[in-house]
Structure 1
Amino acid sequence: MSAMNAFDPRLTPARPDLASARLAGTVEAARFVEGTRHVIAWPVAPMKAQPSPEAPLVTEALFGESVTVFEITEEGWAWGQLDADHYVGWLSAEALAPLDGAPTHKVTALRTPVFPGPSIKLPPTALLSFGSRLVVTGTRERFAVTEGGFIFAGHLAPLEAKETDFVAVAARFLGLPYLWGGRSGAGMDCSGLVQVALTACGIACPRDSDMQEAALGKAVPFSGDATELKRGDLIFWPGHVGIVEDEATLLHATAFFMAVVREPLSEALLRIEAASAPVRTVKRLD
């Protein structure tokens, strides 16, 4: 973890009463614990900033992702840190299972059903989102066999497989509902879309737009002329990020349309500046 983010509460598992043992000597806390790794057993597990059903969603953990848990309360809340992007928050303890075996495959469809047997006519027991991780133990007809059920093998890829065009990945989610804190097939926010698309290409990506602005790519000059932009550039406004599809088009998840949309770039630049602020940064990935 970089020094810049060392004490960001979104990324630092530390409270006045409890902190990760690896932070001993760095932060002050009444108690330090090692934490225990678990795996997400729900199709999607909401992560909250506070242990309350009414608390706003800050991000989502997907099936098969791992989390280091430092506390489980009597009320059934688990406080922990996601291993992939280091986000810290509260999950339902019921969403967790013991870590047992490393994932072998990931979901490449926007959503895929899990069947109790090798037949598409059976009622599915769950729907897994793009990027969910699972352990495949074998195959049967056209299905991959997992501990939780049968999944159409064409909707999976080996865990190490990488997409080659994150802009094209993002475009697959066009029409998906906008959801603050979302990064699943149920909905996404602007930074969730960027994170999911880049992660699919093997590019490590932080969760929130300000983190992405600080960590990703190289800043390039931008005078406001859309012709200066290239496919794959990330445009950052205060609290928002979009992906340049080409010099005429922006891909983004936006609350304005409450969806992932393809919007004329010049119109988006004018609309967002009038509603909130001008472009703050343009980052170009290597």
Structure 2
Amino acid sequence: MPPELDPRLTPARPDLADIRLRGQVEAARFVEGRRARIAVPSAPLRRRPEPQAGLDTEVVMGDAVTVYDVSQNFAFAQIARDGYVGYLPEAALGPADPAPTHRVAALRTFVYPAPDLKRPHVAHLSLGAAFAVDGREGEYWRLANGGYVFAGHAVPLDHAEPDAVAVAERLVGTPYLWGGRTSLGLDCSGLVQISLECAGLTCPRDADQQERALGTALPPGLDGLRRGDLVFWKGHVGMMLDATRLIHANGHHMAVAVEPLAVAVERIAEKSFGAVTSIRRWADGAAA
């Protein structure tokens, strides 16, 4: 694969590749992927088609994907949200239509078989999961694919939270999970991605991608920071809660935690990722 093509974002293998990559990569055959959508509450995307392979990221209900190959219960696919490529469980896939109309705005909610909170729930959905609404019964949305969700836990798909940092604050205490991007477990870049997406902003998946794509770089130093500034290390990212405090999902606390930036900088320099590589500010509160 040419070095300019990021393998995380390039749907290509020696035996097959996306037809749009013809002339850019070598492959035995080129295929046009088919559209699909995640039909389960959440699913892992792994770097290899093996149940024990490392977790690269996660998808949630409603996520659009392009499927290039299915073999031995795994789908080789690309996530529409951020372009990530890997292997999903075939059982997680459903039809591309109907397209979602609403998404979960609560940290998590339940799917019920009827519009009745006393009925045993059939699934739980994480913050950001999306679904198509087929009507309303009392206080519940009736889902086009079956089941009911409490309407107060969902918002229209195009709703944008006014403050991405406030979304991150709601996730304080969520356990750390490498590759996680649901309210049951998050890694550092997953926290940033889901917080910005809830605010209506496009955000890459990994910290190095976010460092290249988001906002503008500030001068070196830890002074003059403000809410929402992103602090990057080689392999790590956090978000400023205010001028002095950082919120980040990290392996030291094994959770999403808030701590003084100076404390985090000293510990991280000594024990893990080294020095801060950059601090970036969103342009007018949005991703550049």
State TM-score, norm by structure 2: 0.95
Deviation at 1:215, TM superposition (A): 0.5
Shift of 1:6: 5.3
Structure 1 residue corresponding to 2:138, chosen from 135, 138, 141? 141
Contact 1:230 1:247 in 2 (8 A): yes
Deviations 1:229-272 (A, max 9, x none): 11111000010000001122100000111000011222111111
Out of 234, 239, 244, the residue aligned to residue 235 of structure 2 is 239
Structure 1 segment 147-162 matched on structure 2, within 5 A: 147-162=145-160
Specify the alignment match of 1:105 in structure 2.
102
Distance in 2, Cα, partners of 1:106 & 1:193: 17
1:274 alignment partner, SS class: helix
In 2, the alpha carbon distance for the partners of 1:173 and 1:145 equals 27
- Cα distance in structure 2, aligned partners of 1:119 and 1:6: 53
SS in structure 1 at match of 2:51: coil
User: Given the alignment, which residue of 83, 86, 90 partners 1:93?
Assistant: 90
Aligned to 2:270: 274
The aligned runs of 1:49-198 (5 Å cut-off) are 49-73=47-71, 75-146=72-143, 147-198=145-196
1:54 and 1:9 mapped to 2: Cα distance? 20
Tell me which amino acid in the other structure corresponds to 1:130.
L
Give the superposition deviation at 1:15.
Answer: 1.1
The percentage of counterpart residues that share the same residue type is 51
- What corresponds to 1:229 in structure 2? 225
Aligned to 1:262: 258
SS of match in other structure, 2:247:
strand
Residue 14, structure 1, aligned to residue 4, structure 2: no
Partner residue of 1:249 out of 238, 245, 258 = 245
CA distance in 2, matches of 1:16, 1:96: 24
The counterpart of 1:41, out of the listed 39, 44, 56, is 39
In structure 2, give the amino acid aligned to 1:284.
R
Task: Read off the aligned partner of 1:175 and give its amino acid letter.
Answer: G
Whole-Å separation in 1 of the counterparts to 2:46 and 2:176: 18
- Kindly indicate whether the alpha-carbon contact (under 8 Å) linking 1:114 and 1:148 is maintained by their aligned counterparts in 2: no
Distance in 1 separating the partners of 2:54 and 2:5: 21
1:164 offset after TM fit, Å?
1.4
Determine helix, strand or coil for the equivalent of 1:181: coil
Q: 1:5 Cα deviation (Å)?
A: 8.9
Deviation for aligned residue 1:36: 0.6
Q: TM-score, normalising length from structure 1? A: 0.96
Letter of the 2:160 partner, please give it. K
In the alignment, the residues of structure 1 paired with residue 278 and residue 264 of structure 2 have an alpha-carbon distance, to the nearest angstrom, of: 15
Q: Secondary structure at the match of 1:261?
A: strand
Instruction: Give the match's secondary structure for 1:118.
Output: coil
Q: Which amino acid aligns with 1:180?
A: W
**Any gaps of 5 or more consecutive residues in structure 1?**
none
State how many pairs are aligned.
280
Deviation at 1:222, TM superposition (A): 2.1
Aligned counterparts of 1:255 and 1:271: Cα–Cα separation in 2? 12
Deviation, 1:172, is: 0.7
Secondary structure of 2:8's partner? coil
Distance 1:247 1:143 in 2: 41
Give yes or no for contact 1:199–1:205 (8 Å, CA) kept in 2. yes
How far apart are the structure 1 equivalents of 2:161 and 2:224? 26
Matched to 1:102, the amino acid is A
